[in-house]
């Protein structure tokens, strides 16, 4: 007769949790912070004020950079969600599916963050230059609707539960978001508008020289910062999932152990003698 | 097999509707109320504000379509009906097609009642040459909305906060339909840019074609456990 294997509970509790974060979390924030400070220094001290728009033009350096970061992250979220839906449920691709899901979630979160930065810095610039905080202009609408869509993605992720269903549903929204954002872009672009075209060099007010390379540095710093934030969130999601797995395994171990134990006699322990209540219980009065 | 399953699910939905008249009554009444509220809010009986009639019409169509989507999937929520449907021989693809066709049928019936009444309330008459444009715009727009609405309505049918989540993701996606629909209706009424008619129709057609491909694929990948 084989004795049942004994489950070593403390070992089970510690084994599956890789509680350590990658070492780069020590030096990466320093590098990213230094880059951001360098960009800030360039924006405020190196770049000259713009001739017609004045000092407020400086908000451009981060406004445009954040728009790049936000749109790149939305595209990442959409593509990673496609990859998640393709790899999901295929044998042998489970790890890849989880990786894509985490990447999509992280990119969606940080994308919304940068989208909101764009929507906040835009009006700061627009009020003195255009004379209005907001105009119904194609690119503003596109950014607003894209942020709405991905806020929906995040709300769905948060409220549909952390299980596989929530991941599937939110991935569906992100997948539809890709072509939808493109179609919205085409639709609203037909309305025409007066948004400055920084990249094609019309109306952005970026003179060659310090202004242009300040712009390059701030774009680089913002993109690195965004990538760092995505990486942080990615690690966060990984830890949360590992922790959940560890809890599940612990539960299983617990269950196995109780099952092997001899059935406990179903006899109630004798009730401890109760002190008579000073107010008197109802049956005392009867 | 798929075609048969589509037909059976569609028949079931239409039969339930014939006996309860729940979806169509809700959609039509709600649409009429929206039109009336807009008429009060914008003081529509002056010539200047008649310009916004196309906008009112399309907001009504989209709101009412959203209501229809949520009513149609409310039915499948209890007793695991959705799971049962997904297990039919046609699979998720058949379920999607049947539900999209059903919602399209409800929207078409609602529009048949509401659009003439809305135009009448606004004191507008469509010139004979514009009727084709208006019908085409409503048809293409409804197809696009039905595709997107069915996808998200089915996906989020069991989610918490679905009354918030479905509009939150559907409205941003259907903005191209809304924009093109408003422009085309203005053209049909004779005060839009007639030269852009083909562009907007092509945009609606493109939207429909994109989501005819994307929506069923996403549905089959998302709804299967």
User: Where does the pLDDT of residue A4 fall: very low under 50, low under 70, confident under 90, or very high at 90 and above?
Assistant: low
pLDDT in tens, B127-170: 888 899 999 999 999 999 999 999 999 988 877 778 888 998 99
How many Cβ pairs within 8 Å bridge chains A and B? 94
| Pick from A245, A232, A249: nearest CA to A21 | A232
* Cβ-based neighbours of B160, under 8 Å, separated by 6 or more: A159, A160
Q: Please, which residues bridge with residue A197 across strands? A: A202, A203
Measuring CA to CA, how many Å separate A6 from each of A12, A246, A254, B201?
11, 19, 12, 71
Give the model's pLDDT for residue A268: 61
Q: To the nearest whole angstrom, how far is the Cα of A71 from the nearest Cα of chain B?
A: 16
- Torsional sign, CA A25, A27, A33, A38: negative
- How confident is the prediction for chain A on average, in pLDDT? 80
| Chain B residues 130-149 with a CB less than 8 Å from chain A | 148
pTM for the model: 0.82
d(CA A112, CA A103): 14
User: Where does the pLDDT of residue A280 fall: very low under 50, low under 70, confident under 90, or very high at 90 and above?
Assistant: very low
A186–B contact, CB cutoff 8 A: yes
d(CA B173, CA B218): 15
Range of the structural domain that residue B145 is part of: 2-223
Q: Do A169 and B180 touch (CB under 8 A)?
A: no
Chain A residues with beta carbon closer than 8 angstroms to that of B211: 176, 179
* Token pair in block for residue B83: 């799971």
* Token pair in block for residue A264: 């406990």
pLDDT in tens, A144-175: 999 999 999 998 888 766 678 888 889 999 99
* Token pair in block for residue A262: 């001899």
Q: Do B176 and A186 touch (CB under 8 A)?
A: yes
B3 versus B224: the higher-pLDDT residue is B3
Chain A residues with beta carbon closer than 8 angstroms to that of B203: 183, 186-187, 190
* Cβ-based neighbours of A236, under 8 Å, separated by 6 or more: A106
Highest averaged pLDDT of the listed ranges A68-82, A267-281, B28-42: A68-82
State the total domains in chain B. 1
């Amino acid at each position: 007769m084989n004795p049942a294997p004994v489950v070593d509970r403390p070992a089970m509790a510690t084994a599956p949790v890789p509680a350590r974060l990658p070492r780069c979390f020590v030096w990466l924030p320093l590098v990213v912070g230094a880059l951001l400070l360098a960009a800030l220094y360039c924006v405020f001290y190196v770049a000259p004020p713009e001739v017609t728009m004045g000092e407020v033009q400086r908000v451009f350096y981060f406004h445009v950079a954040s728009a790049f970061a936000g749109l790149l992250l939305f595209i990442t979220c959409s593509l990673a969600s496609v990859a998640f839906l393709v790899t999901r449920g295929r044998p042998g691709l489970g790890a890849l599916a989880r990786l894509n899901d985490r990447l999509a979630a992280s990119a969606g979160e940080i994308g919304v963050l940068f989208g909101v930065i764009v929507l906040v810095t835009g009006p700061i610039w627009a009020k003195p230059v255009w004379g209005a905080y907001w105009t119904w202009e194609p690119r503003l609408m596109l950014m607003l609707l894209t942020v709405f869509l991905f806020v929906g993605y995040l709300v769905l992720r948060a409220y549909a539960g952390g299980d596989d269903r929530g991941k599937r549903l939110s991935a569906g929204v992100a997948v539809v978001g890709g072509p939808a954002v493109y179609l919205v872009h085409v639709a609203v672009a037909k309305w025409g508008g007066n948004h400055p075209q920084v990249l094609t060099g019309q109306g952005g007010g970026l003179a060659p020289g310090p202004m242009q390379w300040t712009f390059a540095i701030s774009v680089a710093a913002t993109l690195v910062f965004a990538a760092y934030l995505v990486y942080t969130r990615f690690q966060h999601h990984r830890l949360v999932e590992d922790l959940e797995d560890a809890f599940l395994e612990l539960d299983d171990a617990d269950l196995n152990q109780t099952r092997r134990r001899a059935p406990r006699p179903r006899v109630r322990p004798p009730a401890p003698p109760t002190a008579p209540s000073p107010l008197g219980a109802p049956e005392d009065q009867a | 097999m798929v075609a048969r399953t589509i037909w059976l699910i569609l028949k079931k939905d239409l039969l339930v509707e014939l006996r309860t008249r729940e979806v169509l009554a809700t959609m039509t009444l709600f649409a009429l109320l929206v039109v009336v509220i807009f008429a009060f809010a914008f003081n529509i009986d002056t010539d200047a504000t008649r310009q916004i009639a196309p906008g009112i019409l399309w907001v009504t169509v989209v709101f009412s379509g959203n209501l229809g989507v949520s009513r149609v999937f409310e039915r499948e929520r209890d007793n695991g009906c959705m799971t049962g449907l997904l297990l039919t021989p046609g699979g998720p693809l058949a379920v999607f097609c049947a539900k999209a066709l059903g919602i399209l049928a409800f929207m078409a019936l609602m529009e048949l009642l509401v659009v003439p009444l809305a135009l009448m309330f606004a004191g507008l008459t469509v010139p004979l040459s514009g009727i084709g444009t208006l019908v085409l715009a409503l048809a293409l727009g409804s197809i696009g909305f039905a595709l997107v609405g069915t996808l998200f309505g089915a996906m989020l049918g069991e989610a918490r906060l679905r009354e918030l989540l479905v509009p939150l993701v559907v409205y941003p996606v259907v903005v191209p339909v809304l924009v093109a629909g408003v422009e085309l209706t203005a053209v049909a009424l004779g005060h839009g840019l007639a030269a852009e008619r083909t562009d907007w129709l092509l945009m609606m057609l493109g939207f429909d074609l994109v989501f005819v491909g994307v929506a069923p694929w996403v549905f089959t990948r998302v709804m299967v456990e």
